[in-house]
Structure 1
Amino acid sequence: MDDKVRASVEAMRADAGEWSSAAREVGQAHSLVKNLMLNEEQFSMLLDHIIGPTYEQVRQALESLLESAAAEFDKVGMALRMSAETYEREDAEGAHGLRRAGG
């Protein structure tokens, strides 16, 4: 395998690990937000009509965004891993073809 291709494949795998790590971290944040439920009774009587509904809307939006981000980060990591595997496989197949051709 060419040194540039090898370096690119290694870089893809390293990047894939970073994206997967980010996906896990965002997934943990998603779990925290998902379980961060406060009902209107937990807010003061004066503010529950103002903050209560707004809090839940913000919490739900944040939960949804974090869930989507974790899924997308994981997809990026998987795509990078698959690309690295494809480069390696195609490089090996090309080298094998050259050897069979006498190159």
Structure 2
Amino acid sequence: MDTVEVVCSKLVEDADKWRAAADGMSKAADAAGGLAMGAEQFGKIADERGVVSAYAPLQQTFTTLASGAATEFAKIADTLTLVAETYLREDQAGEHAMRRLEDRL
């Protein structure tokens, strides 16, 4: 059976993975946001057929989704870190309380 410290270190490792994923999604959102294209890039025929007007909302959707994922992944990482810190703190407090009880016996 793993100790509380070992389990909490695994939670922190998971949090680090979620932070890395958040960073990756943030970079993806930045990249998607920088892919604005208009008639100059698509050409006149594509513009006349509605490609340009269809592209802008699609690009915005991808940017929003990637940005939202980055935010949510960061929240997951923060929660995992907080849980690990709380478990450690409570375990240490419980251990201290047990020692005080043992000293009285």
TM value normalised by structure 2: 0.90
Q: CA deviation at 1:41?
A: 3.0
Q: CA deviation at 1:79?
A: 0.2
Deviation beyond 4 Å, 4+ runs, structure 1: none
The 5 Å alignment of 1:1-103 reads: 3-49=2-48, 50-102=50-102
Residues in 1 aligned to 2:72 and 2:9: alpha-carbon distance in whole angstroms: 22
> Structure 1, residues 31-84: CA drift from partner, whole Å, max 9, x if none?
111111112232211111321011111100000001100000000000000000
Q: Structure 2 regions of 5+ residues with no counterpart?
A: none
What value does the CA root-mean-square deviation take over the aligned residues? 1.4
TM value normalised by structure 1: 0.92
Residues in 1 aligned to 2:93 and 2:19: alpha-carbon distance in whole angstroms: 29
Q: Structure 1 regions of 5+ residues with no counterpart?
A: none
How many residues align structurally?
102
